Amino acid sequence: MPADTTEDVRARGEGVSRQVAVLPVGSFEQHGPYLPLATDTLVACAVAREIAAAYPVHLLPPVTISCSHEHAAWAGTVSISSVTLHSVIRDIASSLRRSGVETLVVVNGHGGNYVLGNVVQESSARGERMALFPAPEDWEAAREQAGVVTSLLTDMHAGEIETSILLHAHPEFVRPGYAASDFVADDRRHLLTLGMSAYTDSGVIGRPSLGSAEKGKALLASLADSFGTYFSLLTSDGDSARG
């Protein structure tokens, strides 16, 4: 949770041309037997903290439950509708604008939150400043720089990337068993119709055995570097700044 006071936010705003808020959005869904249900929230928060350490942004607390319907077959998974998530993000952005923070960056930790792209598209079309981070290209650059072996296609859920980030940021939450849980299912064309349970018994799709704290640290550092372009775009003047 962010520890800022209202005075911290006011002082930070005085030093920038345009205030940028960063909102982590995670999920509460199964991540196999060795990663917690809150994995996506922990990942989104780790990325957001790395951003806040490098740029003058207003770090918000996370949205912890989102669109995890494809994981409903596993105990503990909780979802809200895409309509609800859409409304939550719009309400947060509107509230921020009323308090003088014009720009919102949504840091998404869950691939199933497809609606977040629509929120950003619609907001940008209205002339509001919003962005979704990281893009697939940012994850690909981070994967390469960190030496992650598994492709983004294969590393779908509870794999090398997520295990690495948690081993770095929250090793206390990683339980034994990830080293023997690799499972590959690259052809998932009916995922939205059938859900994850049609493709994996364990809930894992990826190679968590290759995860390491060192890779997790490098992944976060690369993502923070990639965020620089977003920050420049969103804080610049003119129509080109619409993100």
Say which residues have a Cβ less than 8 Å from residue 3's Cβ, sequence separation at least 6: none
Residue 243's pLDDT band (boundaries 50, 70, 90)?
A: very low
Judge whether residue 149 has pLDDT over 70.
yes
Confidence (pLDDT) at 221? 98
At 23 the three-state DSSP class reads strand
Confidence (pLDDT) at 234? 95
- What does the pLDDT look like over 109-134, one tens digit per residue? 999 999 999 999 999 999 999 999 99
Positive or negative: CA dihedral 74, 157, 108, 9: positive
Instruction: For residues 176 and 35, give the distance between their C-alpha atoms in angstroms, rounded to a whole number.
Output: 9
Judge whether residue 240 has pLDDT over 80.
no
Judge whether residue 242 has pLDDT over 50.
no
- What does the pLDDT look like over 25-55, one tens digit per residue? 999 999 999 999 999 999 999 999 999 999 9
